[in-house]
Amino acid sequence: MDKKYFKHGKAFKTVVDDDNVKPVEDLSCLTKENVGVRNGVEFDRSEEVDSEMKNELSKDGDFKNGTKLKEGTRTKKFECQETTLRNPSNTRTYWAALLLLTILSLVTRLHNIQLPKHVCWDETHFGKMGSWYIRRTFFFDVHPPLGKMLIGLAGYLTGYDGMYPFEKPGDEYGDDVNYVGMRIFCGLLGAALVPLCYMSTWLLSQSTLAAFFSGLLVLLETGTLALSRHILLDPILLFFIMLSTYSVLKFLSYKDDPFSLQWACWLCLTGMSLSAAIGVKFVGLFVILLVGVTTILDLWRLLGIKSNTMVDLAKHFLARAMCLIGLPVVMYMVIFFIHFIVLNESGNGDGFYSSAFQSQLKGNKLYNVSMPASVAFGSVVTLKQRRTGGAYLHSHWHLYPEEHPPRQQQITSYTHKDENNKWRVKPSDHDVMEGEEPQIVRSGDLVRLEHIGTRRNLHSHREPAPLTKHHFQLSAYGSNGTGDSNDIWVIDIPGSPVGTPIRTAKSKFRLIHYYVRCAVCSGDKKLPKWGWEQLEATCNPNLKDTNTLYSVEEVEDSRMPNSSFELYSPSFWEKFLESHAVMTQGNSNLKPKQGEISSQPWQWPIDYKGQIFSGKTHRVYLLGNPVIFWVCLAATGLFLVVYLVASVRRQRGVRYTEVWRDYQDRMFVACWWLMLGWAMHYLPFWPMTRILYFHHYFPALLFSAMMTGVTLDFLITLLCVSVPESLTVTIFHTCFGLVLSSILYSFYLFHPMVYGMSGPMATEEGSQMHGLRWLSSWDL
């Protein structure tokens, strides 16, 4: 390596340049400058510095010589000062490294991908759901559909017929099951992560060394590798997250050329990959936040450029709003539209959805039924609570037990369809005569509800409910349809005037007790054995509770004309909203079951514990490469220390040369941005109460790995310029070699976790992995 380069490098260290120190009377001026830097206006600053740099480069002959060096990736970053951002092609090393990483990535991801020849871990879910797309059967999952749709598509294209049941992990794939196509699809997306990380890091740091380190860390990270080799949503999710990251950075690199074709293309691609990311899993929301913050900072930069008129700014704003908000929203809806179109046959997911929704699915009981469109006095109805997963109002021949007096007949909420869910609607003061003209039930009417099975009336009184003590007890009272004045209920349709007729399946109403002023309500509490573990039904004195809304699901009345249920078929919009409500509920219900060990966020960055993917003879264990995890952790800490020291020095008026300052600023901005990405993908898991798994950490890990690449580059450069000139080349090579070899060696040590371990467990002598169980928490 040329000495001259480092000669110049020496000059980086120029400490307090007395002539250069600003007069400090004006403190506010200094602080203002600093606030600017910390607020992330760096984009602006680096632009200014860029032009300064160019001037300096032309002046500084020495440095020009330095840029001509071929050897070592590190000189690239200075060469690149001269090249424009969007044209890295003139640097051969850049392409060589990219090519190398891509090929290695493909090799590692696709090597022996057909193994293990059995269902691994969550393949049982996602393989199954992919099959359901091919079979067009409706199902329910807590994640949005895109990932499974793509898996289904990949399977369909590679000749998988969708008939394999994917029953449980460990099931052997038969010879006729074309599962490899789906695995290769996931593997390819997983393989794309390495070049994407490489290119993103380059865009941020303009250093091939940093980019190479990032790519290498992702390439040899065993956890990412294991995730990429199976039919899972994670490789797809990670791919779209990285694609969003890359395209937004690429978009930002065209900041000097706004509204050009490439600029617009990358902007649109960002929007599309964002919607794809959230279309796979809701975790994609975090990358949307990251891109959102980045865009706001970018707009802030534009706002600071005085040559931009308000019209320019408005154009910039609208373009971003359209491509980053409008386009993704439309695309997200299109995904759901396709989802509803493709899945048109009844399956095991029906029960999660409302009756109107179910009536759309071929093979469902409600498909194409017809029943009266409104309710008349004398009709027999079932009442379903209006919330997702709401149950039917139910009664049966059993009394409340002694400890919950009075001992009247139980009223419960029952989730299944049953004869005992049926009630007859009667006027409050008389019985319905035979042959009488049917009279429509309207809001404001006083009614009695007679239970068909036991001929007792729905009743309430000021007695505490069995579980929710501040509600009142609901009971069934009377005999053969006669009861007392506590059986009278008022029908109230909130938001509609008195006299609105009740429409089957459509109207939401409350049943309010005429005397006690409480409304029929049902929560999530399960009654004990005496109540057959059905849900508790109560009379809630808080009339505004949303759990008090009911609707009529089925009506039987021979006197009324039937109308087809088609009338109530939900629009796309309603289906879209309902499926989201169901997914949200499903997600929040994913609480760790007792005894199930939920992974905890603090364990993730330290690689505390992995996940067993396959436990048979060919064992696969999802565990991050511990060396890489710990290097990432150390790099984060080191960066913070270095940053603190550098900021204090700057605050104390220590000045650097323009070249060094520019380099340092760029590296710091890159690190902060990546750290933001890491934090946004990691910290939100801390307060989550849902069940968490180790694999939730991997989006954050990618950002962490990229940051580590940048930090390593910075640290090595710092070291090189700090030692005497004669040592710089040696030091550089030593550091580079050390990092490279230790990462490669760690991969060599831990690769059997991904490609399959066999033989005894690592705790025993003679195991393949013996001695590698560095933490006692690993189940190797």
Partner 1 sequence: MEGESRGDVNPRGDVSPHGDVNLHGDVSPRTQPEPKRVEGDGSPRPSSLDESKRNPQRGQAKPFSIKFEVDVIQLVLTIAAMATRFWLLGLPRAVVFDELHFAKFASLYMKKIFFFDVHPPLGKMLLALVCGFCGFDGDANFNRIGEDYPVTFPVYQLRMLPALLGSLTVPLAYQIAVELRLSRWAALLAGACVLLDNALLTQSRFMLMEGMMVFFLCLSIFSFLKFRNLAHREFSIRWWFWLCLTGVTCTCTLSIKYVGFYTALVILTLMIQDYWRMLADIRISDLHLVKHLLVRILAVIFMPLVIYVSLFYVHLTTLTKAGPHDNVMTSGFQASLEGGLAALTKGQPLHVSYGSQITLRLTHGVVAGKPCWLHSHQHVYPVRYPDGRGSSHQQQVTCYLFKDVYNWWIVKHPARESLVVDDPPQPVKHGDVVQLVHGITSRALNSHDVAAPMTPQNQEVSCYIDYNVSMPAQNYWRVEIDNRDNDEDTWQTIKSHVRFVHTDTRQALKATGKQLPEWGFHQIEVATDRVVVQPGTVWNVEEHRFTTSPEKEQQARELASTEMIPLKPTHLSFWTKFFELQTKMLFSRSDIDMEHKYSSGPLDWPFLTKNTAYWMSSTSNAQIHLLGNPVIWYSASLSLFIYLGLLLIYMMRRRRDIFDLTESEWLHFVFIGELLIGGYFCHYLPFFLTDRTLFMHSYLPCLIYKILSLAAVVDHIYIISHRFVYAGTTVSGVCLGLVASMVWAFWKLAVFSYGNANLKPEDIQSLTWKDTWDFLVHTNH
Per CB under 8 A, residues contacting partner 1 are: 21, 24-28, 30-32, 34, 300, 303-304, 306, 462, 468, 470, 544, 594-597, 648, 651-653, 687, 689
Sign of CA dihedral 233, 235, 241, 244: negative
The residue among 396 and 655 lying less far from partner 1, judged by its C-beta, is 655
* Rounded Cα–Cα distance for residues 773 and 752 (Å): 13
The candidate with the shortest Cα–Cα distance to 581, out of 263, 354, 379, 750, is 354
The nearer residue to partner 1, 168 or 544, going by C-beta atoms, is 544
Question: How many Å is the Cα radius of gyration of the chain?
Answer: 33
Answer left, alpha or beta for residue 766, where phi above 0 means left and psi between -120 and 50 means alpha. Answer: left
User: What tokens appear for 526 in the block?
Assistant: 């399960």
Provide, rounded to whole angstroms, the least separation between the CB of residue 30 and partner 1.
4
How far apart are CB 633 and partner 1 at their closest, in Å? 22
Q: Which is nearer to partner 1, 470 or 733 (CB)?
A: 470
When the beta carbons of 419 and 596 are compared against partner 1, the nearer one is 596
Neighbours of 524 (CB within 10 A): 11
Tokens 């509600």, residue located:
471
Minimum Å distance from CB 412 to partner 1? 20
Give the separation between CA 125 and CA 182, rounded to whole angstroms.
Answer: 13
Which tokens sit at 225?
A: 């590798």
Question: In whole angstroms, how close is the CB of 462 to partner 1 at the nearest point?
Answer: 7
Separation CA 769–CA 764 (nearest Å): 9
**70 or 652: CB nearest partner 1:** 652
- Of 470 and 559, CB closest to partner 1: 470
CA distance 764 to 749: 17
| Nearest to partner 1 of 333, 543 (CB atom) | 543
Q: Taking a C-beta distance cutoff of 8 angstroms, is the pair 399, 531 a contact?
A: no
Task: Pick between residue 72 and residue 615 the one whose CB is nearest to partner 1.
Answer: 615
Nearer to partner 1, 10 or 22 (CB): 22
Q: How far apart are the first and last CA of the chain?
A: 45
CA atoms of 73 and 64, how far apart (whole Å): 17
Q: Where are the beta strands (DSSP E) in 478-610?
A: 489-492, 510-513, 519-526, 535-540, 550-556, 562-564
Taking the least distance from each CB to partner 1, the nearer of 293 and 729 is 293
Please give the DSSP secondary-structure letter assigned to residue 380.
Answer: E
**Which residue is it, tokens 């506590």?**
486
CB of 607 to partner 1, least distance (A): 18
Name the phi and psi angles at 594, rounded to 5. Answer: -55, 135
Q: Give the nearer residue to partner 1 in terms of CB position, either 27 or 433.
A: 27
CB 293, min distance to partner 1, A: 16
Closer to partner 1 at the Cβ: 363 or 405?
Answer: 405
- Beta-carbon count within 10 A of 316 CB: 18
Q: For residue 759, which amino acid is it?
A: G
Question: Two tokens at 423?
Answer: 């009630």
Contacts of 476 (CB under 8 A, 6+ apart): 395, 408, 409, 410, 411, 451, 454, 456, 457, 458, 459
* DSSP designation for 172: B
Rounded least distance, CB 689 to partner 1, Å: 7
> Cα angle vertex 416, ends 410, 417, to 5°?
95
Q: How far is CA 573 from CA 60, 337, 361, 564, 570, in A?
A: 64, 9, 17, 21, 8
Rounded least distance, CB 304 to partner 1, Å: 5
Q: Which is nearer to partner 1, 644 or 738 (CB)?
A: 644
DSSP characters over 588-605: HT-PPPTT-----GGGTT
- Shortest distance, position 365 Cβ to partner 1, whole Å: 29
Shortest reach from residue 294's CB to partner 1, in Å: 17
User: What is the closest distance, in whole angstroms, from the C-beta atom of residue 221 to partner 1 in the complex?
Assistant: 26
Q: How far is the CB of 536 from partner 1 (least distance, A)?
A: 13
Task: Report the distance separating Cα 286 and Cα 292, nearest Å.
Answer: 10
Q: Which is nearer to partner 1, 314 or 648 (CB)?
A: 648
Q: How far is the CB of 29 from partner 1 (least distance, A)?
A: 8
What 8-state DSSP symbol labels residue 322?
I
Min dist CB 617 to partner 1, Å, is 21
Residue 643 CB, nearest approach to partner 1 (Å): 14
Alpha carbon distance 519, 541 (integer Å): 6
Residue of 81, 79, 14 whose CA lies nearest to 52 = 81
In the bound state with partner 1, the residue whose beta carbon lies nearer, of 30 and 723, is 30
- Cα separation, 187 vs 105, in Å, equals 10
Q: What DSSP designation does 401 have? A: P
